[in-house]
Amino acid sequence: MKLFIRDFMKPALSNRVSKLSLRSMKLAIYLCLSVVLSAQVMAANNEWADLNSEQQATFSGLAKYWNNLSPDDRAKMLRQAEKFKAMPPEQQAKVMERFNRWQQLSPERKAELRARHKAYQKLSPDEKAKIRKRVEWFNQQSDEDKKAMREHWQSLSPDEREKLRKRFKEMTPAQRKLARDKIIRLRQLKNR
């Protein structure tokens, strides 16, 4: 009879142990999440005085504005700085070059680029893919061809540019390629 009771009690004991284990696991997960979330909240609310010396050196140009930034902006900048530190030196150099180019732009040009980026974000995935494909094609051209295409585009009036955009949209991909190649050849002949 003792055997029978012990065998009968085993499932109940293991069930009680598994409930305890489950509660312990839930508590451990809760504690881990609360630590992570509190660390994120603390990072998001960092005042200038709370930054370590390395972070202050990184953001020294923003020292007088730092505490006026939103907590989200501060957290985003801290994350970006961490990403930057993890990049290989070549990639860091590219990022710095782009940053310096951005800094040299006029406020009007920056506003224009922000508006274009915002418009791009609203496009459908198919439209974005088409644009990426065109940019990829353009980037594959020689520097001379790129320069020629830019000069040609800049020489056009706004009305001519709009007409050209409409014509290109109505063309098939094969027709577009032929037109681009023709423009490149014409520019090359003109520059000789």
Question: Are 144 and 152 spatial neighbours (Cβ–Cβ below 8 Å)?
Answer: no
pLDDT at 152 over 50: yes
Domains of the chain, by residue range, sit at 1-38, 140-192
- What would the pLDDT profile of 16-33 be if each residue is shown by its tens digit? 445 545 565 555 565 555
Interatomic CA distance for residues 33 and 39, integer angstroms: 10
- What would the pLDDT profile of 73-127 be if each residue is shown by its tens digit? 888 989 998 998 899 999 999 988 998 999 899 999 999 999 999 999 999 999 9
Question: Are 146 and 154 spatial neighbours (Cβ–Cβ below 8 Å)?
Answer: no
The per-residue pLDDT for 104 is: 93
pLDDT over 90, % of the chain:
24
- What would the pLDDT profile of 115-137 be if each residue is shown by its tens digit? 999 999 999 999 999 889 888 98
Interatomic CA distance for residues 76 and 2, integer angstroms: 65
The per-residue pLDDT for 1 is: 46
